[in-house]
Structure 1
Amino acid sequence: MDKVVYTLVTLVESVLGIFGVRALYEMPAYTVAGRLDGGVEIRSYAPRLAVETDAGGQGDGAAFGRLFRYITGANRAGGRIAMTAPVEVGGRRIAMTAPVEQGAGGTMRFFLPRAVAEAGAPEPTEPGVRLVEVPAERVAALGFSGRATPEARADREAALARALAAAGIEAREVPVFMGYDPPFAIPFLRRNEVAVRLGPP
């Protein structure tokens, strides 16, 4: 993509993002396979390609920077890749006395546009950044708006766990956070989600 066009598109996306408009962002395709109490969706995602890096949690600016540099030219082709949504942040549980901490020592991931994946995504040139193929999977997701504070995220993760337990669905993985909007978006217009991978479709 031409540098001037890329810059203009990014600027327009940023301005629209303030108001929660995501029309210019490509998002991974999924179908809703079912719904649970509390607004939980059971989704079936097709296979997709992502670029990821290790991250210390949701607000890790260094991790975001590494991924952003990849899509703006830090790749073998030196080309620019359109930004997509959501940005996914996953963490590993670290046992503590109480409570259990989530979101530390995990990964941050950008999903790549389908056209880029089909054409063969360029390899990252920056250490610690890697391409990963995400297989087809079922995911339980619960959306919420507002600021994705640790407290808001923990509350939604607990609600997701209750809905899954009530439906007799065992969640074997730690929830991930998916953010669809830039941090400067108007809070009540933001689309945030917590999600748990449930396995193959």
Structure 2
Amino acid sequence: MIRLYASEMSGNAHKVRMALAFLGLEWDEQATDAAARSTDAFLALNPMGQIPVYAEGDFTLRDSQAILAYLAARHRPGDWDGHTPEERGAITVWLSHAANEIFNGPALLRAERLFGWSVDTARAAAVADRILPVVEAHLAGADWLVGNRPTIADLAASPYLALAPDGGIDLEQWPAIGAWTRRIAALPNFPAMPGWPAEGGA
């Protein structure tokens, strides 16, 4: 049985939750709060003390982008992680944006408001101001970030953009991003989370 160490409000954990749900896999979700992440038992799984962590048998893997890459290679090779070198390169660009600009901009603004994180608000807002126009322009001419179907690029980049209003970002100003996150939320088996409901009863 797959175990996912996560928390309900974590966008990074939700990336993996979406992948598992879309793949039709069953998993046991272990609610892992800040106190649990500081225990010796958890640090043995992830010495960084962060969620999500994926565990299956003796195999464990940390970092949401790495877990998505693993799940794609194991269960949806090509379709989710790129059929060509060009697609694989483009997908990697979005994985990098998800871990860097999207996290250090919209995600940190949300964490400050919802969880009281100590954040350099001006810097996070400046990072958000750089990445949001890039994503908006890209999606203005495409339904998905890479190719003609959802890939792990979409799974990696979407949660903290869908949840950007929690950080004071008005998605009405970014209609292509809003439409894209609603397309993802309308996919079969989409797992809703607080701040990102399913669309159309999916």
TM value normalised by structure 2: 0.27
Q: Higher helix fraction: Structure 1 or Structure 2?
A: 2
Greater relative contact order structure (CA < 8 Å, 6+ sep)? 1
Q: Higher strand fraction: Structure 1 or Structure 2?
A: 1
